[in-house]
């Protein structure tokens, strides 16, 4: 199977084709539009199995970066798992680095892993905490008034210390530098922060590189003031204003987060995803 890179002049057609594949293509579509809007697609390879009709899409870094590479995927179904495997291998051949793949549904990832059940080594490490996929229609995002004594801002470099301390993955060895990873996000993607009148950050959320809103945090002493809902809806409004879909991936057994998103107007899509670590030993 030939792996084909989508050309810049084909991006409009790719956008239309991904939109026709909704809802299954939502991760690939949101990520593609985000990278294109931010002029970051020059740093990416947009790979498909064929063109103009494709069954698998992978968007991945063009060269190895100092932060953990993200591969955002669309796969039409488990029968194309081997095709997804081939494209991920091809992308790894350029990076020679582990990758973190997101976007393909759980049944696709199960088929991907099962291909290696008779092998001594499987290159895919699947996160078994499946994620529920949500989107927020623009009509469902209702404004909530900010309580007195708070103001809306955006995340900036001066917030890095508190972000690193509160983010649960800061101690993970998946990222060579949490601070560098966070800087990349707050400089390139939409964020919302709520501060007290004296400039103390108490609640925030950002859009992550793969398109999902996340890292929602409210400092414990400021909870039950609807600040989480205000942050979430304000960020969604920013995205909707630009004509972009709002995507959220929520671990299915995280009941408080599931209830929070549904209370705030998010609509559950009819499939789940799991995250894949890709650790290839040899090139194909």
- 173 assigned to some structural domain: yes
Distance, in Å, from the CA atom of 194 to the CA atom of 104, rounded to the nearest integer, reads 33
228 shares a domain with 201: yes
CA-to-CA distance for 162 and 284, rounded, in angstroms?
43
Instruction: Indicate if 119 and 161 belong to the same structural domain.
Output: no
Same domain, yes or no, for 124 and 211? Answer: no
Domain annotation covers residue 251: no
Is position 20 within any domain? yes
Same domain, 126 and 221: no
Structural domain count of the chain = 2
Query: What was the pLDDT predicted at 203?
Result: 97
Contact 88, 96 (CB under 8 A): no
| Other C-beta atoms lying within 10 Å of the C-beta of residue 248 | 24
Residues of the chain whose pLDDT is less than 70?
1, 66, 96, 171-176, 282-284
Task: Tell me which residue range forms the domain holding 199.
Answer: 138-245
Q: Does 261 reside within a domain?
A: no
Same domain, 164 and 94: no
Query: pTM for the full model?
Result: 0.92
Residue 191 lies inside a defined structural domain of this protein? yes
- For residue 184, the domain's CATH number is 3.40.630.30
pLDDT of residue 241: 87
> Are residue 99 and residue 188 in the same domain, yes or no?
no
Question: 62 and 163 share a domain?
Answer: no
Q: How far is the C-alpha of 29 from the C-alpha of 22, rounded, in Å?
A: 8
Same domain, 76 and 126: yes
Residue 101 falls within a domain, yes or no?
yes
Residues 157 and 165: their CA atoms lie apart, in Å, by 14
If asked whether residues 111 and 191 sit together in one domain, one would say no
Residue 259 lies in a domain: no
For residue 158, being part of any structural domain is answered with yes
Average pLDDT over the chain, rounded to whole?
91
Domain shared by 159 and 111, yes or no: no
Distances (CA, A) of 133 to 16, 25, 103, 153, 254: 21, 11, 10, 28, 13
- CATH code, 56: 3.40.630
Q: Please say whether the beta carbons of 213 and 205 come within 8 A.
A: yes
Same domain, 76 and 184: no
Q: Cα(21)–Cα(34) distance, rounded to whole angstroms? A: 18
Per-residue model confidence (pLDDT) at position 280 = 81
Backbone angles phi, psi at 46, to 5 degrees: -105, 105
Statement to judge: residues 79 and 163 lie in one domain = no
């Amino acid at each position: 199977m030939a792996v084909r890179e989508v050309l810049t002049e084909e991006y409009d057609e790719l956008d239309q084709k991904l939109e026709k594949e909704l809802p299954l293509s939502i991760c690939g579509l949101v990520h593609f539009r985000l990278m294109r809007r931010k002029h970051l697609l020059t740093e990416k390879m947009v790979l498909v199995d064929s063109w103009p009709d494709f069954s698998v899409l992978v968007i991945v870094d063009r060269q190895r970066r100092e932060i953990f590479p993200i591969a955002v995927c669309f796969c039409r179904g488990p029968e194309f798992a081997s095709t997804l495997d081939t494209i991920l291998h091809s992308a790894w051949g350029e990076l020679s680095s582990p990758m973190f793949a997101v976007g393909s549904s759980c049944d696709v990832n199960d088929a991907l892993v099962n291909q290696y059940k008779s092998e001594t080594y499987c290159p895919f490490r699947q996160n078994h905490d499946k994620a529920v996929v949500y989107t927020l229609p623009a009509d469902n995002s209702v404004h909530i008034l900010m309580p007195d004594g708070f103001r809306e801002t955006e995340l900036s470099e001066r917030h890095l210390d508190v972000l690193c301390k509160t983010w649960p993955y800061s101690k993970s060895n998946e990222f060579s530098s949490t601070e560098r990873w966070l800087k990349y996000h707050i400089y390139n993607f939409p964020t919302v922060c709520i501060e007290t009148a004296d400039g103390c950050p108490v609640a925030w959320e950002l859009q992550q590189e793969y398109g999902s809103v996340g890292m929602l945090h409210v400092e414990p002493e400021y909870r039950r003031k609807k600040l989480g809902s205000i942050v979430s809806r304000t960020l969604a409004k920013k995205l909707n204003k630009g004509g972009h879909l709002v995507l959220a991936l929520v671990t299915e057994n995280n009941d408080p987060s599931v209830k929070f998103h549904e209370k705030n107007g998010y609509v559950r899509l009819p499939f789940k995803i799991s995250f894949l670590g890709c650790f290839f030993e040899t090139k194909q």
